[in-house]
């Protein structure tokens, strides 16, 4: 079937939002997932599903048969590089024409990045450009949705724990904007072939973000700064694996050093013809998670 669109990582934050955007546009993407029940609960009973684990190149190649355009976005993993190389090899085998990768943020992606996943994303970005006939790469900024992990801290202690000075300028993005951009690219790939697009929402600070939380929740929300080493100690006490602790420390350092500071709103304006979702809209839409 030509012009068939598939999404790998369809049950994740960015992937599920992309599937929703594609449905809104009248498309019925193939959702490549590892767990059918989970896919049903997140994407609905009517979602078109193929089962494949990204650790299995053979399963992926079978799932991608007949797929013309592919988006892939996979989560934090010690084996992200191997998993995404599997995806690319399978895409090549299945004859995928266009592949869209949601990569890491500009501040972490690089051959010599201090962040392991930044080096992995770089490797996959490079490989992508020679494996499929045509491609596009999105490098989103710091996810606003990361604050959802602090729902309990905000609810119980009215506190946002941050890895940098509260006045440091940062460029967050709502994953729904990345998803809307991704969906538009999948529907009209010709306009975006061979482009690497860095995208963020409007620059702000954690102090301003906390002010938005205070305004929407109707009570003061404070910020407290934790050092990168403090991030590591905290995760260690929670039993996180060493690679994830190392990753989180490196991300915290990158944030504090301004790696997520540059603002790049233009791609969202260009592709979607509107302003990026603001931190106010984000908190209003996720109010229940912080009350
Ligand atoms: N957090 C940030 O601020 C930030 C900023 C810029 C870029 N990024 C990048 O964004 C990506 C994460 O995006 P996200 O938060 O939208 O992802 P996410 O919510 O963690 O979703 C990850 C997806 O990958 C799927 N997956 C994981 N392992 C799998 C396996 N073995 N087989 C099949 N599917 C598997 C998950 O399936 P299940 O639902 O079954 O687990 C899920 O659908 C990362 O690559 C990260 O580097 C993050």
pTM for the predicted model, two decimal places: 0.97
Confidence of residue 161 (pLDDT cuts 50, 70, 90): very high
Confidence of residue 3 (pLDDT cuts 50, 70, 90): low
Nearest to 97 by CA among 71, 58, 63: 71
**What does the pLDDT look like over 13-61, one tens digit per residue?**
999 999 999 999 999 999 999 999 999 999 999 999 999 999 999 999 9
CA atoms of 67 and 5, how far apart (whole Å): 6
Q: At what angle do helices 242-256 and 228-237 cross, to 10 degrees?
A: 150
Boundaries of every domain in the chain: 4-140+175-199+262-276
Q: What is the rounded average pLDDT of the residues 122-141?
A: 98
**What does the pLDDT look like over 202-252, one tens digit per residue?**
999 999 999 999 999 999 999 999 999 999 999 999 999 999 999 999 999
Distance 145 CA to ligand 1 centre (A): 13
Give residue 2's pLDDT: 47
Distance 9 CA to ligand 1 centre (A): 6
Which residues neighbour 41 within 8 Å (Cβ) at sequence distance 6 or greater? none
Q: In what order do the strands lie in the sheet with 170-173?
A: 142-143, 170-173, 203-204
Q: What is the rounded average pLDDT of the residues 271-278?
A: 98
Mean pLDDT, the chain, integer? 97
Distance 34 CA to ligand 1 centre (A): 13
Task: Give me the residues paired with residue 171 across strands.
Answer: 203
Looking at ligand 1, which residue's alpha carbon is closest to its atom 22?
75
Residues with CB under 6 A from ligand 1: 9-15, 34-35, 38, 53-55, 73-76, 102, 104-105, 117, 140, 142-143, 146, 175
The H or E element containing residue 131 is helix 116-131
**What does the pLDDT look like over 169-183, one tens digit per residue?**
999 999 999 999 999
Confidence of residue 1 (pLDDT cuts 50, 70, 90): very low
Looking at ligand 1, which residue's alpha carbon is closest to its atom 17?
75
**What does the pLDDT look like over 59-71, one tens digit per residue?**
999 999 999 999 9
**What does the pLDDT look like over 62-118, one tens digit per residue?**
999 999 999 999 999 999 999 999 999 999 999 999 999 999 999 999 999 999 999
| Ligand 1 atom nearest residue 14's Cα | 16
- Fold for 4-140+175-199+262-276, please state it: Rossmann fold (3.40.50)
Pocket probe for ligand 1: among 12, 30, 38, 79, the residue whose CB has the most ligand atoms within 8 Å is 12
Q: Collapse the DSSP code of 25 into the 3-class scheme (helix H, G, I; strand E, B; otherwise coil) and give the result.
A: coil
CA atoms of 81 and 111, how far apart (whole Å): 13
């Amino acid at each position: 079937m030509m012009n068939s669109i598939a999404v790998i990582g369809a049950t994740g934050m960015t992937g599920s939002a992309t599937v929703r955007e594609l449905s809104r546009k009248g498309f019925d993407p193939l959702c490549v997932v590892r767990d059918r029940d989970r896919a049903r609960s997140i994407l609905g009973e009517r979602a078109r599903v193929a089962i494949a684990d990204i650790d299995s190149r053979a399963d992926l190649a079978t799932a991608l048969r007949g797929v013309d355009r592919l988006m892939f976005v996979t989560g934090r993993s010690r084996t992200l590089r191997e998993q995404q190389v599997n995806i690319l090899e399978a895409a090549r085998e299945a004859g995928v024409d266009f592949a869209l990768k949601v990569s890491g943020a500009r501040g972490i992606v690089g051959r010599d990045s201090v962040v392991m996943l930044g080096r992995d994303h770089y490797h996959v970005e490079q490989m992508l450009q020679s494996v499929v006939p045509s491609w596009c790469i999105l490098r989103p900024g710091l996810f606003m949705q990361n604050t959802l992990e602090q729902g309990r801290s905000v609810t119980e202690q009215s506190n946002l724990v941050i890895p940098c000075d509260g006045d440091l300028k940062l460029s967050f993005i709502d994953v729904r904007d990345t998803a809307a951009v991704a969906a538009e690219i999948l529907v009209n790939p010709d306009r975006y072939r061979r482009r690497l697009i860095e995208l963020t929402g409007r620059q702000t600070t954690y102090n301003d973000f906390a002010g938005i939380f205070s305004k929407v929740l109707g009570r003061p929300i404070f910020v407290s700064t934790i050092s990168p080493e403090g991030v590591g100690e905290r995760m260690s006490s929670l039993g996180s694996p060493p690679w994830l602790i190392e990753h989180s420390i490196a991300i915290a350092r990158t944030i504090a050093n301004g790696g997520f500071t540059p603002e790049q709103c233009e791609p969202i304006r260009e592709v979607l013809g509107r302003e990026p979702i603001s931190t106010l809209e984000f908190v209003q839409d996720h109010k229940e998670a912080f009350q």
